[in-house]
């Protein structure tokens, strides 16, 4: 049974047009700590009229904000980055209590990365080319307008900043609807944006249910663009709602990414890395490398390495710095991942580690056992469907061509990995993968490179200059 906890974060107002206002909707959304199953806070349920008011405020603010100077927008981005640094520990602990992310990972990825992303857009503005001459034309980049932003729970602040920062840089105004599972950090962000003096109406925050707030924003005639991150099915619905008004839609959706170990790779290093590439944030990453493709001859070695190391992937209280894997975000998510684990067993995959039930020593919290399956074949459910939990699936291949075919045998195309002792060979493979990003031999994530997917993993790109250009229109002026 879910109980109320101490240190409650109760938010009773929505942020519209530079003020905290009473919502017109009824009721609240309770936020549950997935490690303790206790209620840690609540946010109000906004209504369609609240969403309309937020869009109206953003529309009214657009004319003046879109004409603000590059220096003004750059200054706000730097102030935002500094404020996130000053409140970093507060935000990290809050996100850990909302999502269950281990605290060290929260400090680094959940708060540290958004801080750097904010600052990166100030640097991008410094050298961005807003207009150029093409023969007798001046080609001008302009802010697209009012942007509706619908964000998920797994990287709540990072996904918000990945939209807000380029929108601020571009000169757009915005309305944010954060996830129901992890909305509290968005309210702290609104406090920060208010405190740094971002002009009224530039940023607006509406909490509530997707079927009301999300659908209102996606279909609203005064919204020029929808930036959505979430499930593929929800992204399809956003596209359907946006289509009648022909607004721009960017989508960052699901993934079932493959990690290929070639026969000339450093097998121990690649196999060890495969654990962390799959299990980061308890496997709740759309870009997680959840399918490990290995040479047939290396099957025993890889399985032995992973089996020996998975025990060190400690599961427990995410506030303790020693835990590498925390709970899943909700009871619903726990049940979903548990069903996939059971399905993998039922369909004949070889259980290497983990399995059904709670991790040893835990009897509460939304935990599952970090699980590894070997001998997974393409017709199995766990090979094809996004699990969104700490479940690694190992599949063998007979030759390089089959490895590429298996990697591309997915309706998704968000991420990927290639391991080889020959970088040129790895690069050749990477170019053949139908996916939005590929890491070679564990290449580090780059916040200034474009992030996004092929196929059902989405439309458009986030981060870096490419992410900012999603928020811009192009105009040609002939003379």
Q: Assess whether 325 carries a catalytic annotation.
A: no
Strand partners, 392: 372
Strand partners, 260: 293, 418
Which of 56, 252, 462, 470 does the annotation list as catalytic?
Answer: 252
Q: Assess whether 172 carries a catalytic annotation.
A: no
Which of 172, 286, 325, 393 does the annotation list as catalytic?
Answer: 286
Catalogue the active-site residues.
Answer: 252, 286
């Amino acid at each position: 049974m879910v109980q109320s906890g101490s240190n409650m974060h109760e938010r009773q107002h929505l942020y519209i047009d530079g003020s905290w206002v009473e919502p017109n909707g009824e009721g609240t959304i309770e936020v549950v700590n997935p490690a303790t199953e206790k209620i840690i806070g609540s946010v109000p349920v906004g209504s369609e009229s609240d969403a309309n008011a937020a869009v109206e405020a953003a529309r009214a603010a657009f004319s003046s904000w879109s004409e603000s100077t590059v220096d003004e927008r750059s200054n706000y981005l730097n102030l935002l980055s500094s404020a996130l640094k000053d409140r970093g520990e507060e935000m990290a602990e809050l996100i850990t209590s909302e999502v269950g992310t281990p605290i060290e990972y929260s400090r680094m990825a959940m708060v540290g990365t958004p801080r750097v992303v904010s600052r990166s857009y100030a640097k991008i503005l410094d050298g961005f080319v807003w207009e150029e001459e093409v023969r007798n034309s001046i080609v001008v980049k302009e802010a697209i307008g009012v942007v509706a932003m619908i964000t998920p729970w797994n990287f709540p602040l990072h996904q918000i900043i990945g939209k807000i920062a380029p929108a601020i840089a571009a000169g757009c105004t915005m309305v944010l609807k954060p996830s129901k599972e992890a909305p509290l950090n968005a309210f702290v962000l609104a406090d920060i944006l208010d405190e740094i003096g971002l002009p009224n109406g530039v940023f607006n925050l509406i909490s509530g249910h997707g079927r009301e707030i999300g659908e209102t924003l996606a279909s609203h005639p005064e919204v020029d663009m929808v930036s959505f991150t979430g499930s593929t099915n929800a992204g399809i619905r956003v596209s359907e709602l946006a289509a009648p008004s022909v607004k721009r839609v960017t989508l960052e959706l699901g993934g079932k990414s493959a990690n290929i170990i070639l026969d000339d790779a450093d097998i121990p290093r690649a196999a060890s890395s495969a654990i962390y590439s799959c299990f980061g944030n308890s496997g709740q990453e759309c870009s997680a490398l959840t399918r490990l493709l290995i040479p047939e001859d290396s099957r025993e070695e890889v399985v032995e390495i992973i089996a020996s190391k998975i025990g060190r992937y400690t599961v427990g209280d995410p506030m303790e710095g020693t835990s590498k894997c925390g709970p899943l975000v909700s009871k619903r998510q726990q049940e979903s991942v548990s069903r996939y684990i059971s399905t993998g067993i039922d369909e004949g995959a070889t259980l290497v580690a983990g399995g059904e039930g709670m991790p040893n020593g835990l009897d509460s919290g939304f935990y599952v056992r970090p699980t590894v399956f070997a001998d997974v074949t393409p017709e199995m459910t766990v090979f094809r469907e996004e699990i969104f939990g700490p479940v690694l699936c190992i599949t063998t291949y007979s030759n390089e061509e089959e490895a590429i075919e298996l990697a591309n045998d997915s309706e998704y195309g968000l991420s990927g990995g290639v391991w080889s002792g020959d970088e040129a060979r790895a690069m050749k493979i990477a170019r053949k993968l139908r996916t939005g990003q590929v890491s070679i031999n564990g290449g580090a994530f780059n916040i200034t490179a474009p992030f996004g997917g092929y196929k059902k993993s989405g439309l458009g790109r986030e981060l870096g200059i490419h992410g900012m250009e999603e928020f811009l229109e192009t105009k040609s002026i002939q003379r």
